[in-house]
Each structure stands twice: as C-alpha cells, then as structure tokens.
Structure 1
Amino acid sequence: MSVKPRRIDLRALLPYLRPHRRVLLLVAALSLAGTLATLLQPLLTRAVLDAIGNSEPAGRLVAGLVALLAIVAGLNAVRDYLLQRTAEGVVLASRRTLAGHLLRLPIAEYDSRRTGDLLSRVGADTTLLRAVVTSGLIDMASGMIMIAGAVIAMVLLDPLMFTVTAGGVALALSGGMVVARRVRPASRAAQERIGEMTATVERALTAARTIRASRAEERETEAVGAAAEAAYRAGLRAARLQAWIGPIGVAAIQGAFLLVLGIGGARVADGSLSVGDLVAFVLFLFFLVMPLGRVLNVYTQLQMGLAALERIHEVLDLPLEPDAPQPAPRPVEAAPAVEFAGVDFSYGDGPPVLRQVSFAVPMGTRTALVGPSGAGKSSVLALVERFYEVDAGAVRIDGVDVRRLPREVLRGRLGYVEQEAPVLAGTLRANLLLTVPAATDAELLAVLDAVNLGDLVARTPDGLDAQVGEGGVLLSGGERQRLAIARTLLASPPILLLDEPTSNLDARNEAALRAAIDAVSADRTMIIVAHRLSTVIDADQIVVVDGGRVVAVGRHAELLDTSPLYRELATHQFLVT
C-alpha cells in the first residue's frame, strides 16, 4: 500500500525533540545569556571610546570588555556542544524509529520498493535532521533575540540612521526569502535522486558475480553513472539556489555598512553624533545584519531538513503489518494443524496466484506440495506465515483464522525455511541465535550435527564464531541451505514450513538432511514444498497444485494412478517407467 506524500512542518520534529527538552531549555538559556552579553559589547566599547576621548581612565572598562568576550565564548562553546549532542540524539532516535518501522512493514511493501532507496532514507535523510537542530531552532531563536536587541539599541541611538539602513536590509532579506523557499522542493528532488542512485549501486553490488559472469560490468557502470549524474544535476539545482543566499546576505551587510558610514560620518562632522555613538551604532548594525544572514541560512537548512523529514515520514506513514489483538483465541479441539478453505490470492493488482485452494494438514503429519514451477506452492507457505493477506477464504492454524492470531503467537508456532535459504552476514553463532537467542553452545552444535554441518565447525579454529560472509558467500549453496534449516530446527516449532529444503544439496547431503527431518518431525506437523519427488514420496499426503488450483490430493502410490500430472512429474524424475 502506498501513502500519498504530505507536506509537513516543524511540528513533526517534536516527538524527536521531546526527550531532549531539558537540555534544549538549558541551551535556550545559554543562548539567551550569550546574546544579551553580546549586545552589551557595543555599549562597553562606546564607554571605552568616550573615556579615552575624555582622557579618563579606561582600564576597568577594557578589562570588563575582555571578560565579556571570554564569557560569550564560553557560553557559546557549551551551547554548541549541547546542541551537537542533542542533534546526534535526534538522528539516533529517527534512525531507530525508521528502522523499527521498516522491519515491520507488510512484505508487499518490500516487493514494490527498492532496497537502496529505503537505505538512503535511514542513512542520508536522517543525517540532514542534524542541521535542523544544530543550525535550526535554537540559532533562529537566538538570532531573533539578537535582532530585536540590536533594533531597540539602534533606534535609541539614532532613529534616522536606523530607518535608512532598515529599508535596505529589508529589501535584501525579502529577496533572500524568495530564494530560500525554493530550496525545499529542490532539496527533496536531490535526496530522491540520491536514493535512486543508492538503489542502483545496491543492485549492482548484490549481483556482482552475475554481472561479472555476464560481462556486464560496463553496462552496469553506465547505469550507476547515469543515476549518479541525475543526482549530480539535482544537487546542482539545489546548490544554485543555495549559492544566492550568501551573496544576498553579504550585499545587505555591505549596503547597510556603506549607508551608515555615509550618513553617520556626515552627522559626526556636523557634531550631531559622537564618534562613540557611531562606533556603537556600527557594531549594533553588525549584530543586526549578521544574525539576519544567519537566520536566512538557518531557514534554508530548515527547508532541506523538512524535505528529508517528509521522505522519512513517507515511510513512517505506511501502515505496519496487520496484527490481531491479544489474547489469542484458544485452539479448536481436534482441528487440523493447518487448513486452507476456499483461498483466493493475488499479489497486489496482478493476476490470481491461487484459486479456491482447499486442503487440510492433520496435526503431526507430513504434507508435501508438488507441481510445476509457478503453480503457487511457495505462495501457500507465505499465506500460512501471513506475509500476505488472502483475497478470499481463510487460512487456519489449529482451527483459528490466522488473521485472529497475534503475529508473535502465529509465528511462534511456525518454523519457516525459505527457498533461497538466506544467511545473514556475521558468524555461524549469530545466524543460529537469530531464532533462539538463549541457546547454549551444546544446543547449537547438536542442531548443526543434525543437518550434517558439524564439520563446518571442526574445520576452523574459530568454531561457532567462524564468519559466513555477506549473504553466506563463504559457504557453499548446500551449506547455506542447511544452516538456514538448522536455524529453524533450533526453535523446535510445532509446525515446520520447508520451501525446497533440498534444492541445493547433493545426494549424500540430501539423504543426511532427510534423516534429520525425519528425526525432528516426530510429533510435529510439516508442510514441504518439493520439486524432487524422491524427497516426499513417503509423505502422509501429497497435494498436487497446478495453475493455482489443487488438482489432486493423496499418497504417492495413489496419485500415480489418479493424477496424470503427478504421474508425469514422477516419470520425468525417473520414479516410474
């Protein structure tokens, strides 16, 4: 399900800032103190100049000015550290929230989105939130205080000069705001192109061996280059807008400074303004214009941060995988362990994958799903796990519709080994502990022996801490599959779902794995998807699926007589002549 992007404002940042409110209040107090101390500097400078001009002692005033400068520096250093720490906390919280949400999205969302773009949102987009905190809220607040103080002081010193300079500054500032408002859509476009580039790179690196074997390095390099160039062009568009912000601020400063020097110099010459007042006015002018330039830059940073926050909330607004309320309904006595009742299913808006599928798996029995490729066998297992929702009918576990079972309860009863047998980067131990974090080494070694992987531990000095590589690349295909099965067997679930468990095994290891499955299948329910009929001919029942429909159910010998499709499959695999 896709969610329409929505335009958000700074209120969306409040949940991330709320845990840091005490620190932010301290930062605000330090910022206010530093701003007030800074505003005192021109007044002390004027007093020093007036004292020198009147041949009066100025030592104490100079010492006070130096102390004030040191105080301002110290206050700003503490404030900046606290802001940086808070910003890192905001980034950490946003990454945790986003990662937790991503891992709980419906499986269909992963099917429709590129992994690299999601990675970009967790990495690059969350990083931009740092600027919203460090260069954003507090800087803007302190800048506004500084501006207000400078304006009041300038009006009191010389209303005429303030009126003239304020007009020029306001004109330059309005132009800068017009440009800054256009930064947000440009920044969002640039971040989207970065996400697309990351997705393209992720795709190429994931399939590096296939690309090499296909001699497609040059084509994939060009594809990555094209995505990088699109990100480059989008970044340039945002950079062109940002490039105007600085010169506009500089022009405002220079224009205001020249106006003050011209008008102020004339007023000093005719005696209507003292040199001390002119210097103080010029300093207050800098305290007005410099914060205005900073506020303009902060506004630009905020637009970039809000664009990133919009992309983050695009994911956070996606509904999570549906769950059922606690407590779980009680199992129905004497009900099948797994039951499909008139199930229709399709992936999104695609064609039907399953049509009116009905069969029951009695508790403690072994059921095999067989049929041609694309018949819908793996989809059956996905529906049992409730990775997808049925379009019609019902899937039941122990007589209870899976839609009424909380996910933790449902998946706690299921052990699922996927067809691709994914292995996580890390160690053998980390892969096994994924399902049972508290398992002992003895339990880990026992389950590895059960799937004929004991030699994998023995042949390396690292033992269970041996690395398996990215995606299990340091293992053979058969070893990856057996490790995935061992990981599932360790949890000892009452229902095992095995999708092509022997697809990557040679005859010797297939026999060993079949023996392991036989050993653990006692008092457990098993559903096995199989292309090799030799692995399931002793199943309690075999469900033959073709074109998304159940076309036959029975045992091996029975189906050879009653199902033409099953007999054809058996003939092709030399099980009958």
Structure 2
Amino acid sequence: MSELKSAEEKAAEERRGPAGARRGGPPHAQLGMPTEKSQDFVPSAKRVLGLLRPDRAVVAGSLVLALVSVVLNAIGPKILGRATDLVFAGVFSRQIPAGVTQEQAVEGLRAQGRGTVADVLAAMDHVVPGQGIDFGAVGRVLLVVLAIYVVAAGLQLVQGRLLTTAVNRTVFRLRRDVEDKLNRLPLPYFDAQPRGELLSRVTNDIDNVAQSLQQTLSQLVTSLLTVVAMIAMMLYISPLLAVIALVTIPVTMVVTAAIGKRSQGHFVQQWKSTGQVNAVVEETFTGHELVKVFGRRAEADREFAERNDALYDASFKAQFISGVIMPTLMFIGNLNYVAIAVVGGLRVASGSMSLGDVQAFIQYSRQFTQPLTQVASMANLMQSGVASAERVFEVLDAPEQEPDSGTPARIDDPRGRVAFEDVSFSYTPEKPLIEHLDLVVEPGQTVAIVGPTGAGKTTLVNLVMRFYELDGGRITLDGRDIRELTRHDLRSRTGMVLQDTWLFAGTIHDNIAYGRPGATEEEILEAARATYVDRFVHSLPDGYDTLLNAEADNISAGERQLITIARAFLADPSLLILDEATSSVDTRTELLVQHAMAALRSDRTSFVIAHRLSTIRDADLILVMEDGRIVERGSHAELLAAGGAFARLHAAQFAGAVADPDDETAAGPGAPGAPGAPALAGPRG
C-alpha cells in the first residue's frame, strides 16, 4: 500500500524517522520487515525447560511416579512370560505318561532322535508328567500382572495430573511475563512492530508452546524412562537378543536428527509466516475503509494470498518432513522384530531360552521401539513448540526502556512550568530532527504549536511525556529534570487528548471514569456535562450504559473525541496536551468544546497542537515549527503582523487561495504554493 503515500508524506516520514511517523499509516506499511535469525534448537529447548524451574518439586514428584510406573510396566511382561511357561509346560506334561520323570522323558526323546524337542523339554520348569495345565497357577500369575498394571495406570494418571499442573502454571507465568515485558518496552519497539505480528507472538505462539509442552513433556519423560527400563530387562533376559534390539538406537537417532534438522527451519518459517498473515489480516480490517476508498482491495487480497501461500508452503514442508519420521522408524522397528523373532525361536529350539522369556523379550522389544517411535512422532510438535518459543523469547529479550531513577525526585508544589534546555532528538542517528531547542512555558500558559506535517509538533509533546529519550539537553518540569521523576509520577500529572481517539470495549460511563479511578458519580457526570458528552448521551437508548465495541465505531468520530476530552477533564491534570483534540467534531460542537477546553485549561499549562488556526486565537504563545526548529514565536496578532511563516499559513487557510504547489511563480506570498509556505493539511506531525 506504499503507493498511497504522497511525496509530501514520504518526505515527512523521512524527517520523523521510524517511530511515530508510521502511527496511523496505511495498512501493510510495516509488512515484510526482516526478522532476527532464530536460535538453535538445543539452547532454545533448554530455555523452555528452564521455565519449569519454579515448579521443580511438582515436576520431580511426577518424575518419581513416572519412574515407578515404568518399572511396574517393565516387570509385567516378565511375570506374564511365567504364565506362558506354565501353559507350555502343561501341554508337554499331558503328553508324558504319569510316573515318568522329566529327565526320563528327555532321555527317551533323545533316544528317538528328537533332540530339539528334548532340549526344549529339558529347559522347562514346572513339568508334572500326566497332569496337564495348572490353571490355578496360571490364574494367580495373571492376577498379579493385572494388579501391577492397575497400579501402574493409577500412578500414570497422578503423574499426568501433576505434570499438567506444572505446565499450566508455567504457561500462566509466561503469559504474565510477556504482559509485564510489553509494559516495560519503549514506544519505538511498538512503532517497529506490525500489530498483527506482535499479537501473533503473544497469543498464537504462546498457545503453541503450551500445547507442545502439554502433549510432549509427559509422554517424552515416560517414553525415555521406558526405553531405559526395557533395555535393562532385555539385557537381563538375553544379552544376545538385547544387542540385536539395541542396533536400532543409533539408526533411530541418525534418522530422527537428519529429518528433524531439515524440518526445524520450516517450522520457524511457519510461525513467522503465521505472524505475517495475522499482520495482513489485522491491518487490512483496521484500515478497511481506506482500502475500499482507494480501490486497493485486489492489492490487499493479492498480498494476503502471497503471505498465505508462503504459510501453506512452510507448513506443508514442516509437517510432511517431520511426518516421515514415524513411518520410517516403524519400518526399522519391524525389521528388528523379525530379527528378534527368528533368533529367539532358534534359542528356544536349542533350549537356551524358555518360550515365556522369548515372548517377554518380544514384548520388551515392541515396548522399546514404541517409545522411540513416539519420541520421533513428537519431533514435529517439539520443533514447532521451540520455534514458537524462540519468537516469544525475542519479545522477552527485547531491550527495555531506561529504568526510572533509583532515588526519584518529587514535586511538592506542582505549578506546570516546562523548560526545554538545549534539547536535541532524532528517531535515527543519521537524520536529526530537533537540534538545540530552547523553550520556556510558564505556569498556566497555553502554548499552541503549528507547522507543516513532519515538523516535529507531536514529537515535542512526546518528549515531554518521556515516550522517547533525548539525545541531548534536558527538559524540566517545575525545575526538576523529567528523567529524575518516575514515568508514573510524570504522566499522572499530565492529561492528553489525541487526534486518534482511544476507547476500550465497555460503557461510555466506564470510558470517562478511566481518567481518574475512584471518582464519584457526580464528578463523572460533571465532566460529561462540561464537555457536552451529556448532550448526545441522552439520545442513546442506554445512555451512559451504552456499550462501545472494541473499535468504538458504534458512535460517531466526534462523539468518541468528546468522550476522550471528558476523560481528560475528569483527570484534572496540572499539564494538558491537546493534539488536534477537536479535529473530528463539527463546527458548532467545536465552539462549545472550546468553552469547555478554556475551563479545562484554566490554571494549567497547556500544549495545543493544531492545524485549524481558528482554535488557537486565544493562545498565550504560538510556536511555528519547521524541520524540528521553532522558526517563529509570539501571540496570534504579533505573528500576523510579522508577515512570516504563520502569516502565510493563516492566509492559506482563510484566504482560500488555490494555486499549483509546483508553480512557485504563480503563487503569492500568502498562497499555499508560495516558497516556504507549509502544507495546508495532512497527518499530525
């Protein structure tokens, strides 16, 4: 949408720099910004796990329960193999005549040339010739196994509950830390971030971190403990078969690492693209009127399609590549299963192992490969969660605003005297804006600031509010350097009404009361009556209880501005800043508001930024700014008599002269196109 900018606006942006200049600009003005290179997976994963440190006791308890549960699950197959041996021994026992011992039966089989069967019989326990299967013994073994599995399942349930508690507490703290961090970040940080991108980081990315921790942490711990337990049991039963089974570990690690490395970059890009899509959607809907007025819907759709295609491409590659892990490892596991079954069968035939041990070993091998497969299948979730965590960490690691003084000064008798002493400021070092500015505003004075777009008018009052830090010089309030005051103390003494109204979703009453917590009902109504809010509120069905939506666009722009003025009136500040505060009201309402503003400004130091010169006739001092410098100062009458920049601006507004701004010879000294004449209109400076 950058084509929408005029040459004047672009020049103004160059003067203003990257900060307030882009506030309120056209949609998509900040998209396509380069993002920082993502961190490595391992350091980021360690940092994510470090978030669990405050709940380490809960996590440790869940690990103990997981360990006991895994041990019980590991014992189960070995005991169950005992039942298989009892059944198998019973089958052989029935085929041996009663009165013949096991040793005699073995010798008889060898004499018949059936050495393999003899070896199998010789390795058996609990052989009772002629008796058959001992179902009582089998039943007791099965009951023991059932009890073991029930206890293990109960422990897993408690362990899952504990870990869920720890994860949710961790995410709660993460959200809280991000919220606190946002409140400590300087205004330039937000000027450099598309709102949709930032919203995506503090909502979508944190949700994804929570989901990844919730789904992977418990399963990951259980799976790793299971692998260790299965390896121990396999080594206990048969070192040879254990070696065959363990061959899959390095193969699994190599495959997982290779595929995970390829997918990590795509997961990072997936969440970056998600933020960019959100930025396009949020900014397009915020500026949908502008998009439609300038016929840019097709361009907005095309930009959304490009971002959406990039998101589709990154998501597809990330999910597809990481999804290859599980079927690959299942194939490796199946090959391992075949090898164990063949070698195990040969060992049973040779009498080296019992059938129950082979059955137990096969169960262990499946339980061994299954958690490895689960860990591999969780790789996409872990990669995605870590990629989102990196984006959240970038917010948490962003440089914060300078801290307040450790021993802040206090103003015991606030009067509102403001002094600029050799002040210099620039948004970017290579483009100076304000240089060596000196200005003194006495208590109770009303100072109007006028000038072309980008002259530095709004910047001047933003410096008073410490939204930005000075490059040189200082600003004092009642003789105190504002850097010696806490920001809260400084801003609590200041009321501000902006050209861009800000109202929150709530009632009109609550929006006015926001100016001073604890104000009485009568004080709120008095502020509303003084600023003529009361006049239009009674025409609404619900009066002061009328609910405003998130954008407050269910009332007119002028009504929104009157509510913000009422809020400033209620705050009763000692320093008042009005930035085009009546730009959205009609002429008649403006006259009424002027009377309210006069009452509001009484006994207060006021800065008034205005393009409409009719609103500043009664100002005690008018400053004319150009390129960050004060080129003229004086009263309304003095500046008109001087015939300088203010006089030209005044003539341009009230004489109604029209000329080609590129034709300097055709413009008179008071015309808009005259050399040095400021722009007639445009965004606030």
TM-score normalised over the length of structure 1: 0.94
1:267 aligns with one of 341, 347, 367: 347
CA–CA separation in structure 2 for the residues paired with 1:395 and 1:326: 19
- For 1:504, give the aligned amino acid: S
User: Residues 278-427 of structure 1: matches in 2 within 5 Å?
Assistant: 278-331=358-411, 337-349=417-429, 351-427=431-507
Cα shift at 1:137: 4.0
Q: Distance in 1 between matches of 2:242 and 2:578?
A: 80
User: Residues of 2 paired with 1:365 and 1:4: CA distance?
Assistant: 51
Counterpart residue type for residue 161 of structure 2: Y
Q: 1:23 aligns with which of 26, 42, 58?
A: 58
Q: Distance in 2 between matches of 1:32 and 1:80?
A: 13
Are 1:34 and 2:69 matched, yes or no?
Answer: yes
Rounded Cα–Cα distance in structure 1 between residues aligned with 2:63 and 2:314: 36
> Is residue 2:124 matched to residue 1:44?
no
Once the two structures are TM-superposed, the CA of residue 315 in structure 1 deviates from its matched residue by 1.2
Deviation at 1:131, TM superposition (A): 4.2
Cα displacement (A) at 1:496: 0.4
Indicate if the aligned counterparts of 1:83 and 1:133 stay in contact, CA closer than 8 A: no
Aligned AA (1:205): F
> Match for residue 102 of structure 2?
none
Q: Name the larger-Rg structure.
A: 2
| Deviations, residues 259-288 of structure 1 (Å, cap 9, x unaligned) | 111111222223322210111101111221
Q: Deviations over 1:450-493 (max 9, x none)?
A: 21111343233433331222322112111111112222222111
* One-letter code aligned to 1:258: V
C-alpha displacement of 1:527: 0.9
Cα offset for 1:181?
A: 3.1
**Structure 1 position 67, deviation (Å):** 2.4
1:428 aligns with 2:508: yes
Task: Give 2:27's aligned residue.
Answer: none
Contact 1:552 1:559 in 2 (8 A): yes
Match of 1:530 in 2: 610
Query: Greater CA deviation, 122-131 or 81-90?
Result: 81-90
**Residue of 184, 187, 201 corresponding to 2:281:** 201
Unaligned 5+ segments in structure 1 are none
Structure 1 position 330, deviation (Å): 4.2
**Which moved further from structure 2: 444-453 or 460-469?**
460-469
State which drifts further: 137-146 or 152-161: 137-146
**d(CA) in 2 for partners of 1:383 and 1:102?**
20
Cα offsets for 1:50-82 (capped at 9, x unmatched)? 233342322222122222222233322333333
**Residue number in structure 1 paired with 2:239:** 159
* 1:149 CA drift (Å): 1.5
* Map of 1:192 onto structure 2: 272
Counterpart of 1:125, as a letter, is D
Task: State the alpha-carbon separation in 1 of the partners of residues 548 and 386 from structure 2.
Answer: 40
Tell me whether 1:13 sits opposite 2:93 in the alignment: no
After superposition, where does 1:364-513 map in structure 2 within 5 Å?
364-513=444-593
Please name the residue that 2:633 is paired with: 553
Aligned residues: 577
Q: Deviations over 1:164-189 (max 9, x none)?
A: 22214432332222212333322111
* Stretch moving more, 214-223 or 476-485: 214-223
Contact 2:476 2:482 in 1 (8 A): yes
Q: CA 1:348/1:434 → structure 2, altered by over 3 Å: closer, same or farther? A: farther
Q: Does 1:220 align with 2:255?
A: no
Gaps of 5+ in 2: 1-17, 19-34, 90-132, 657-669, 671-685
Shift of 1:158: 1.2
CA apart distance, 1:384: 0.8
* Match for residue 148 of structure 2 among 68, 73, 94: 68
Identity of aligned residues (%): 31
User: Could you report, residue by residue, the CA deviation over 1:216-246 in whole angstroms, capped at 9, with x for unpaired residues?
Assistant: 3232122111111101111122113212211
Per-residue CA deviation, residues 305-347 of structure 1 (Å, 9 max, x unaligned), is 2222211111111122223224322449999711112222222
Q: CA deviation at 1:190?
A: 1.1
The answer to whether residue 373 in structure 2 is matched with residue 257 in structure 1 is: no
TM-score by length of 2: 0.79
Match of 1:183 among 253, 258, 263: 263
Contact kept in structure 2, 1:80 and 1:134, CA below 8 Å: no
Instruction: Give the Cα separation in 1 of the matches to 2:155 and 2:412.
Output: 69
Instruction: After superposition, give the CA deviation of every residue in 1:513-544 in whole Å (9 maximum; x if it has no partner).
Output: 11111112222111111122222211121112
Letter aligned with residue 370 of structure 1: V
- Work out the CA distance in 1 between the residues paired with 2:273 and 2:631: 48
Deviations 1:363-417 (A, max 9, x none): 1221111223322111111111111122222222222222222111111111112
Q: Using the alignment, how far apart are the partners of 2:294 and 2:655 within structure 1?
A: 36
After TM superposition, give the deviation of residue 15 of structure 1 in Å: 5.5
Q: Distance in 1 between matches of 2:271 and 2:52?
A: 23
